[in-house]
Structure 1
Amino acid sequence: MEASTISFSSPPPPRATPAELEAVSLRRLSENLERLLEPAFLDCADAEIALAAGKGGGAVGVHRCILAARSAFFLDHFASLPAPPAAGEKPRLELADLVPGGRHIGRDALVPVLGYLYTGRLKSPPQEATVCMDDACTHGACRPAIDFVVESMYAASGFQISELISLFQRRLSDFVTTALDEDVVPIIQVASTCELQDLLSQCVERVAVSTLDSRYLEKELPYDIYCKVKEIRQSAFGDESENAILDPEHEKRVRNILKALDSDDVDLVGLLLKESSVTLDDALAVHYAAAYCEPKVFAELLKLDSANVNLMNSSGYTPLHIACMRREPDIILSLVERGASVWERTLDGRDALTICKRLTREKDCNRKLEKYEEKSKAYLCIDILEQELKRKSFIFDPISIEESIATPLLVDNFHMRLINLENRVAFARIFFPSEAKLVMRIAQADSTEEFAGITNFSKLKEVDLNETPTMQNRRLRERLDALTKTVGLGRRYFPHCSDVLDKFLNEESTDLIFLETGTPEDQRVKRMRFSELKEDVRKAFTKDKAAVQAIASSASSSPRYEGRARQSKKSKPSL
Structure 2
Amino acid sequence: MANLEEPSSALTVTSSSNLSTESSSLPAAADAGNSLEVASLTRLSCNLDRLLIESDFDYSDAEIVVDGVAIGIHRCILAVRSRFFHELFTQESSPAGKLRYEMADLVPGGRIGKEAFRVFLGYLYTGKLRAPPPEAAICVDATCAHDACSPAVNFAVELMYASSAFQISELVSLFQRRLLNLVDKALAEDVITILLVAFRSKLGQLQNHCIQRVARSDLSSITLEKEIPAELANEIRSIRRNSQPREGDSLDADAIHAKRIGRIHRALDSDDVELVKLLLSESGISLDDAYALHYAAAYCDSKVVAEVLELGSADIDLKDGRGYTPLHVASMRREPAIIVSLLRKGASTMETTADGQNAVSICRRMTRAKDYYAKTVQGQESNKDRLCIDILEREMRRTPFAGDEAVTSPAVDDGLCSNLLYLENRVAFARLLFPSEAKLAMKIAQAETTSEFTGISASRSSSNLREVDLNETPTTQNKRLRSRMDALAKTVELGRRYFPHCSQVLDKFMEDDLPDLFYLQKGSADEQKIKRMRFCELREDVRRAFGKDKAECGRSGLSSSSSSSSSLKGDSKSKATRK
Q: 2:59 aligns with which of 29, 44, 53?
A: 44
Which residue of structure 1 aligns with residue 304 of structure 2? 297
Q: 2:235 aligns with which of 223, 228, 241?
A: 228
Counting aligned pairs with the same residue, the percent is: 50
Which residue of structure 2 aligns with residue 93 of structure 1? 101
Question: Alignment partner of 1:153: what SS?
Answer: helix
1:341 aligns with 2:348: yes
TM-score normalised by length of structure 1: 0.64
Structure 2 distance, partners of 1:550, 1:253, is 43
Which residue of structure 1 aligns with residue 35 of structure 2? 20
**RMSD (CA atoms):** 3.1
Which residue of structure 2 aligns with residue 186 of structure 1? 193
Listed as ranges, the matches of 1:523-542 within 5 Å are none
1:72 aligns with 2:83: yes
Listed as ranges, the matches of 1:153-552 within 5 Å are 153-239=160-246, 244-393=251-400, 493=449, 551-552=480-481
Question: Alignment partner of 1:302: what SS?
Answer: helix
Structure 2 distance, partners of 1:435, 1:113, is 40
Query: Structure 2 vs 1, CA of residues 25 and 301 (structure 1 numbering), >3 Å: closer, same or farther?
Result: same
Structure 2 distance, partners of 1:92, 1:34, is 22
CA shift for structure 1 position 128 = 1.7
The code of the aligned residue for 1:348 comes to: D
Question: Alignment partner of 2:347: what SS?
Answer: coil
Q: Which segments of 5 or more consecutive residues in structure 1 lack a partner in the other structure?
A: 1-14, 396-431, 440-488, 496-546, 557-575
Query: Structure 2 vs 1, CA of residues 433 and 105 (structure 1 numbering), >3 Å: closer, same or farther?
Result: closer
Which residue of structure 2 aligns with residue 32 of structure 1? 47
Q: 2:143 aligns with which of 113, 130, 136?
A: 136
Q: Which segments of 5 or more consecutive residues in structure 2 lack a partner in the other structure?
A: 1-28, 403-438, 452-475, 486-579
Per-residue CA distance 1:504-561 (angstroms, 9 max, x = gap):
xxxxxxxxxxxxxxxxxxxxxxxxxxxxxxxxxxxxxxxxxxx9999429999xxxxx
Structure 2 distance, partners of 1:317, 1:108, is 32
Per-residue CA distance 1:126-177 (angstroms, 9 max, x = gap):
1221111111111121111111110000000000000000000000000112
C-alpha contact 1:281 1:307 (8 A) present in aligned 2: yes
Per-residue CA distance 1:197-239 (angstroms, 9 max, x = gap):
1110111111112111111111111100000001111111011
Query: Structure 2 vs 1, CA of residues 292 and 322 (structure 1 numbering), >3 Å: closer, same or farther?
Result: same
Moved more, 168-177 or 115-124: 115-124
Structure 2 distance, partners of 1:263, 1:342, is 29
Which residue of structure 2 aligns with residue 57 of structure 1? 68
The code of the aligned residue for 2:360 comes to: L
Per-residue CA distance 1:275-323 (angstroms, 9 max, x = gap):
3422211110110111111112211221123211100001101111111
Structure 1 distance, partners of 2:58, 2:228, is 41
CA shift for structure 1 position 50 = 1.6
Structure 1 distance, partners of 2:205, 2:299, is 31
Structure 2 distance, partners of 1:553, 1:291, is 29
Query: Structure 2 vs 1, CA of residues 130 and 162 (structure 1 numbering), >3 Å: closer, same or farther?
Result: same
Structure 2 distance, partners of 1:125, 1:265, is 45
C-alpha contact 2:160 2:175 (8 A) present in aligned 1: yes
Higher relative contact order (Cα pairs below 8 Å, separated by 6+ residues): 1
CA shift for structure 1 position 117 = 1.0
CA shift for structure 1 position 389 = 0.6
TM-score normalised by length of structure 2: 0.63
C-alpha contact 1:37 1:60 (8 A) present in aligned 2: no
Between Structure 1 and Structure 2, how many residues are aligned?
A: 397
Query: Structure 2 vs 1, CA of residues 33 and 349 (structure 1 numbering), >3 Å: closer, same or farther?
Result: same
